[in-house]
Amino acid sequence: MELLKLKKARSYYETKGINFDLYASSTQERASDTLENVAPNQSYQRFKGLKEWHFGLFEGESVYLFDNLYKPEDLFGDRIVPFKGEARQQVEDRIVKTLHDIMSQTKNNALVVSHGTIMGVFLRYCLKLDEALKA
């Protein structure tokens, strides 16, 4: 099923004539596998700054163990820090810096593959959701 979705994504870019000058992926294997399926035979760079949120002691465990720590208004906030995980601000700083670094390497389009919570943090940053929620 996932492979079918990846092929659809590849077909979309090809059909629309969308080209990329730079391909980037998280260093985590599932992200690079995704990129290799969407853009086969393309060379790409791997960036540690694109890796998934570090969940500390919850890393590799079932998401049900830390579902109660997730809050829609701030994702995981600082609630996983006592369990040796990353604070949300650390994640935001890391992803924003990494994406700025990637964007500085190309004048046109980059295809970047990362992870769900990272994308959530970046979207909140871009849309200034935290400020909107405080207003």
19-59 per-position pLDDT tens digit: 999 999 999 999 999 999 999 999 999 999 999 999 999 88
Residue 63 phi, psi dihedral angles, 5° rounding: -60, -20
The pTM for the full model equals 0.86
Across the range 80-88, mean pLDDT stands at 93
Alpha-helical (H) ranges within 1-135 are: 2-16, 29-38, 88-103, 116-127, 129-134
- For the cut 90, the answer to whether the pLDDT of residue 105 exceeds it is yes
Nearest-angstrom CA–CA distance, 95 and 52? 10
What residue type is assigned to position 104 of the chain? Answer: S
Q: Using 50, 70 and 90 to split pLDDT, how confident is the model at 133?
A: low
Nearest-angstrom CA–CA distance, 29 and 7? 18
- For the cut 80, the answer to whether the pLDDT of residue 127 exceeds it is yes
Show the domains of the chain with their CATH numbers.
Answer: 2-134 (3.40.50.1240)
